[in-house]
Amino acid sequence: MSLYQQRGVSAQKEEVHAATEKLDKGLFPKAFCKLYPDVLGKDANWVNVMHADGAGTKSILAYLYWKETGDLSVWEGIAQDAIVMNLDDLLCVGIYGELAFSSTIDRNKRLIPGEVLEVLINAHQAFFDHLKQFGVDITYMGGETADVGDVVRTMAVNGTMTARWPKDKLITNEKIGAGDLIIGLASFGQANYEKEYNSGIASNGLTSARHDMLHKTYGARFHESYDTSLDEHVVYIGPHKMTDTVKLDGQDREIGKLLLSPTRTYAPVLQQILKEHFDAVHGLIHCSGGGQTKCLKYIPDTVRLIKDNLFTPPPIFEMIQKASGSDDREMYQVFNMGTRMEIYTDEKNADTLIGISKNFGVEAKVIGRVEPSEKKELHIKMEGTDLVF
């Protein structure tokens, strides 16, 4: 059993999928988000979508950093994480505007004071205001903030995003086919709409990252930051403190800030692509929970994906792998490994789409291809290794 599983989490969410197996799959089963008939407007040419996601256990990292440094601003990134994990999923079905968002914040009031809530809630609105500069329109509809200390140890930050969208402007992944190229958009670096360097970590795999990277003393000092029923040999087994620094691109960067890099949104990039080159996009997949294997849930059953030109994983993933001793197979199943958005297109449009992404300061390149197959399959190839899923 992997360390990830021993900590009570699953990259593939097998039990969640089993629990929802009997539910309606929506109008387009391969679409990245579940799409339903237009119950709001009663128009057969439109669909409704309501999507829920959040920052996950990344809020625990923010808690630790705040407790250690007193820096309240770290919570701003958690607000962005909860928004982007919804927004970028919806981008994958072609929806890039006229969205509404409602936040859900559960806190342990004894440990999380009002000043943290104030920063978090205001950060939601500030991020929406920032996105509007790039034409991405999201209305903040408020939400629920509950004091539930008997339920949560520190704080859980989640949200729901909803939209009404025309059917003829949807990406449903049904057009993905043999001969397509896969364009990967980098999760790391600094886009021209980001304020600082992004490590690329996003909001998946943070339970492993936290325990594998941070020193045992965090468990001793902050019992509220983990499940105390876990075996101690999987709890905070790393070499680092949050404020330790590493040299990246000639600059000293804190371990805590690398782990807490806000999840990058691809909304400015994909909005332009979807507005100007909609027909060129055959499919979109957000490499979130499940990392580089996320695609297997959404591609047709008669293709094989070959990913043989992924981005070299940025330093944060190298550090996590070194600290944990995890093999490549587990790393690519848990983390995005530097490539977090996939665009499926044909060869004639690939350079145009890559150019749009690069104009926003987001590195992009062809990372693989789609081949015909008798069964759905994924190959991740690198340096003589072929990981088959």
Q: What separation in angstroms does the CA of 371 have from each of 144, 176, 194, 308?
A: 46, 10, 36, 13
Give Cα 202 to chain centroid, integer Å. Answer: 5
* Segment 153-165, tens digit of pLDDT: 999 999 999 999 9
Using pLDDT thresholds of 50, 70 and 90, give the confidence band for residue 15.
low
Evaluate whether residue 150 is within a structural domain.
yes
CA angle 177, 288, 97 (to 5 degrees): 80
Give the three-state DSSP class for 70: coil
Evaluate whether residue 9 is within a structural domain.
yes
User: 182 near 138, Cβ under 8 Å?
Assistant: no
Distance between CA atoms of residues 249 and 271, nearest Å: 30
Evaluate whether residue 231 is within a structural domain.
no
**What region does 300 belong to: left with phi over 0, alpha with psi -120 to 50, or beta?**
beta
Rounded mean pLDDT of 354-381?
98
Rounded mean pLDDT of 293-306?
97
Q: Are strands 138-147 and 99-107 parallel, antiparallel or unpaired?
A: parallel
Closest CA to 274 of 127, 159, 166, 160: 166
User: 285 near 339, Cβ under 8 Å?
Assistant: no
Q: Which residues span the domain enclosing 32? A: 3-197+260-388
Evaluate whether residue 217 is within a structural domain.
no
Residue corresponding to tokens 């003589």: 384
Evaluate whether residue 314 is within a structural domain.
yes
Write down the mean pLDDT value for the chain.
Answer: 95
CA angle 200, 9, 340 (to 5 degrees): 25
- What's residue 5's pLDDT? 73
Residue corresponding to tokens 């996939």: 342
Rounded mean pLDDT of 11-27?
67
Give the three-state DSSP class for 187: coil
- What's residue 250's pLDDT? 87
Contacts of 23 (CB under 8 A, 6+ apart): none
CATH number for the domain spanning 139: value is 3.30.1330.10
Distance between CA atoms of residues 152 and 63, nearest Å: 13
Evaluate whether residue 203 is within a structural domain.
no
* Segment 245-299, tens digit of pLDDT: 999 988 999 999 999 999 999 999 999 999 999 999 999 999 999 999 999 999 9
Closest CA to 208 of 13, 14, 2, 1: 2
Distance between CA atoms of residues 202 and 80, nearest Å: 10
What are the beta bridge partners of residue 36? 48
Evaluate whether residue 206 is within a structural domain.
no
Evaluate whether residue 328 is within a structural domain.
yes
- What's residue 10's pLDDT? 58
* Angle, helix 74-91 to helix 267-276, in steps of 10 degrees: 20
Number of structural domains (the chain) is 1
* Segment 43-57, tens digit of pLDDT: 999 999 999 999 999
Distance between CA atoms of residues 215 and 19, nearest Å: 36
